[in-house]
Every structure is written in C-alpha cells, then in structure tokens.
A and B are shown apart, each in its own frame.
Chain A
Amino acid sequence: MTAPGASVQWSLEIDAARCDGHGICLLRFPEGISLDEWGFATVRDGRIDDAVSLRRARRVVAACPEGALRLSARTPVAMVGREPRR
C-alpha cells in the first residue's frame, strides 16, 4: 500500500449486500453519503480529494456496524459481476 498523501486516488466504496440501512454513515459523513427512500446508503461521489476528507472517510468506514464501507486506493474493476447494460 502506498502511504496516504502520495499521489494515490482514494475512493469510498459501498458493499450493497452488507448495508442494512442503519444510517450512521449519513450522520458521520453527510457530504459523501446519501440514503435512498428505503434507507440504504449510496456513496455520492466516492473520490476523496484531501486529507481532511480522508480522515472523515476513515471514521465513517470504522463507524459502519456492518462493515459495508471501505476505502480503496483504486477505482473498482468493472470485471466483477455483469456490467450494466445501458
């Protein structure tokens, strides 16, 4: 892993199968999370651009009781699962 602060693009990702809609992420990181009408979280714009956001994103990852959020040092690979058709 490259150290934070280097030219790494961090992004916040959600594992939708783990999300149970507790909503704690919205309280902790409202600038990056929204909840859908059923209460399940979506990451608005996963890119984390500065050190302050990175710190807040780390906290929200730790706060999720289901472990559904994570920080990734790269963009997700579209090879997993079926690609959206439209």
Chain B
Amino acid sequence: MSVVEDRDSVRTCVVSASGALGILGDHGTRLLAGPPASAGVERRSAHLARLGGLDLVDMEPEALRATVRHSGLEGRGGGQFPTAAKLELAATSPGSSLVVVNASEGEPSSRKDRTLLGYRPHLVLDGAMAAARACGAPHVVVYLHRARRVSTSAMLEAIEERRGDVAEVTVVDAPPRYVAGESSALVGYLDGEGAFPRRRRLPVAAAGVGGRPTVVLNAETSAHLGLIARNGAEWFRDAGDAGSPGSSLVTLAGSVAVPGLVVEVLAATTVGEALSRFGGVDEPPAAVLIGGYEGTWVDGSGAVAAPLGRGALAACGTPLGCGLLCVLDGGHCGLRTTARLVEWLAGESAGQCGPCVFGLPEVAATLSRLAGAGGARRDVRRLRQLTASIVGRGDCGHPTGVVGLVDSALDTFASDLDRHARGRPCTAPAAPLELAASIEAPR
C-alpha cells in the first residue's frame, strides 16, 4: 500500500479548551488522518473503508515482530522503550501473554491518548491485535479512565463492533492517580494488589500480570502498530527522525492559542515552528516545559530552535516523553509554576519509598519558599542538595522525574532565581496549568 504524504508539513487535530474531545481537523495523514471531528468517532465500517482490513491471521508472529523491529517504534507514554523488545521478550517467555493498552494518560495537560480513543478507537484496537498476534496473546486489556466519558464510550462502542479478532478485549477502569499509569503499577492493579509501582525481578514483558508475559503499550504506540502492520516498517520510518522514527502526537499546553491542542508531527520541524503554526506563539516564549510535568524546562530561545523529533530531543537531554509542550509566557513566573507542579507531584507519590515520601515534600516546601518572598540563597543550595540525594532513588521513576524538573527549573530560571533568593521576587503569578489528572468534562 502506498501512502502519499507531504513530508514537510506538521499535521493537526484540534481538541477544545474545555478538556472534552473537540474538533478533529482534516489535516492528518497518519494517526490523525480520516474524517473531521464533526463526524465523531470513526465507526468500524468507515475505518475499514478508509484503511482496508487487517488480516493478522495471515501474518506470522515472527515476521510481524521483525516488522516492528525494523520500524524502530518506541513507546510513546514517556519511557521511549523499543516496542519490539517488549514483544520479543513476551513471545519468548513462558506462559500465555497479555497485551495491555495503557490509555490512562495520567499527565494532567496531555490529551493525545483520549483523542485517539475518542476518534480512532479502531486504530488503537488494530494495534493491540497486531501486538497480540505478534506475541501470541489471547487477551487484550484496555486500561482507561471511565470518568472520561467521551473517549470511554467511543472505545466501548468500538469493542462492540469488532468481529473476528485474534484476541478478546476487556476494559479496566484505572485509579485516578498520577503513578497508576506506570507499567509495574498497572500490572499490580490488574493483579488485584493496588496500583503501586513495584521493583520486579523480571520486566513485566517477561513476567507481569499473574506471572504471564505482559506487553504494556501506550495508546499512541498501539495506534502506530495498527498502521505499521498495514503499511510496513519502511513507511513508518519515513517520518520522524533517524534517532526515533515515526510521526509523534504532541499536546500543546500553557500560554498557547488553544491549550489541549493535539498535533501530529510527521517530519523533523522545530519546536518554534510548531508553536508558531499551531500555538499562535510567534516570539520565543519565556520557557517551554518539554516532555510532561516530570520533563525538562528549556529557555524560550533555546526551545524554539530545538528540533521537534524524538531522537533529537532525547539526544539533547530533553526527551519528548508523553509529547507534552507547556509554554510559559513572560507574564508568569517559572519558579512559582514549578513550585506549584512539584507540590502537586509530591502529593501524587505512591507513599512507598523513603526518599519520595520524605524528600519530595521538603523539595516542594523549599521551592515554594523560594518562589514566594521568603527565600534565601541557602534555599537554592538546599534544593541542589535535595535533588542530588533523591535522583535515581525509589522503586519507580517518580522521585527522579520530579527532581529532574526542579533541577531544570533552577538552571533555566537562574537569573530569576537570583532575584528570588535575594528576597526580591518577581510579582508574576504561577501559570495556571492543570493539576487534576483524570476527569473530562462531558461534551
């Protein structure tokens, strides 16, 4: 199958500012291709008419895994782990495998996963079935928040419409916690033990739910698989950059024209081009937070020049993670904004590991003092000391992610920090970024 694409363009899909699923543009050529938002969820008949059927039974599992390997697909939930490695491990580990589509999307400002569920649920399910075929899984679990009613009902209706799939599908309601989407927490929850991250002897792809090999795929990763199974590895590699091929979904948040806008980036462009074209941000902003709330602050002039490709951004030490770009304008204080995020993130700890339980609240309190009027130079030294003793600790990436955010804020907002530390803070407020993770306003 040949697909004609404009490689120089960035493709979009629009999500309304209210947080509910909104308008789907007519510009997408890959994940966001197809009918506009006014058409609502794409039904099975329309999906098949547009993309053709996907006869997985005719595909050998080994050949399917080889295709995924050649495609270079990496996970889109934040970890950027090679998808083929998970499938390979599951296929070669003892026990019957399980595929889990992780659509819990715990990042408060991110919208990409629920957008896919809400408009292209069959594409997500096609990918899950391809994964199931590739590792011999008779069962697929879709892990989502039922409280997000629009995307959930679209997915439930899509499941009802499926016929002749290689695996059965079950929907599981995720707990409304930031860490509940972490893969070991997800496995713990499906095992009936609560959604707590756990250090495991083996990767979950080798021994996960009930000891069975468990392939956990972010919803976007799964949707990519649905297209890779149809169009092949070379087609997939024609987008993205050499370091990490394929198109990427990006959610714009913060001081942009439409917070919650989801864009699909096909070819390597720059962060600045994407912000200008889709965010209405024509001048370099004060700063951009790249990769999610546990991502990295980059100062505005550096950010706009950065290539918006997964491989390139990872090489710069600012990975795209879950695809979130939060724009901070000059009217908001980066330190206050970070303090607000850290306070929330500290409260989202699973409460299991000492450095997270005792360390993060102290980081939050010190940063808040500094962000307010009561800060001093010793607070900056104390923050650096705290982040150094917390990085790499704990059983999951949460504490490390939070102190990474703090360190990048101390670097990026250095001149501002100096004024705050001398007791002469700026008067700008924190940016009003979303903090509640999971609920979607009904449409």
Contacts and interface: CB of A to CB of B under 8 A. Distances in A.
25 contacts: A15-B395, A17-B197, A17-B395, A19-B354, A38-B354, A40-B358, A40-B393, A42-B393, A80-B199, A80-B200, A81-B197, A81-B199, A81-B395, A82-B183, A82-B398, A82-B401, A83-B397, A84-B392, A84-B400, A85-B296, A85-B319, A85-B397, A85-B400, A85-B404, A86-B296
A80 B206 CA distance: 10
A69 to B, nearest CB: 12
B182 A86 contact: no
Contacts of A77: 202-203
B353 A16 contact: yes
Contact of A86 (B86, B89, B199, B404): B404
Interface of A: 15-17, 19-21, 36-40, 42, 77, 79-86
A66 to B, nearest CB: 11
Interface of B: 78-81, 85-86, 89, 182-184, 196-200, 202-205, 291, 294-296, 317, 319, 321, 352-355, 358-359, 389, 391-398, 400-401, 404, 407-408
A79 B395 contact: no
B205 A79 contact: yes
Secondary structure class of chain A's binding surface, majority of residues: loop
A85 to B, nearest CB: 5
A36 B396 contact: no
Contact of A81 (B182, B294, B389, B393): B182
Given A17-B353, A36-B389, A83 B358 contact: no
A19 B396 contact: no
A10 to B, nearest CB: 15
Contact of B317 (A82, A83, A86): A86
Contacts of B78: 82, 85
Residue of A17, A19, A37, A80 with most partner-chain B CB within 10 A = A80
Contacts of B204: 79-80
B341 to A, nearest CB: 14
Given A21-B354, A39-B354, A40-B355, A82 B393 contact: no
B93 to A, nearest CB: 12
B199 A16 contact: yes
Contacts of A81: 182-184, 197, 199, 395-397
B395 A85 contact: no
A85 B291 contact: yes
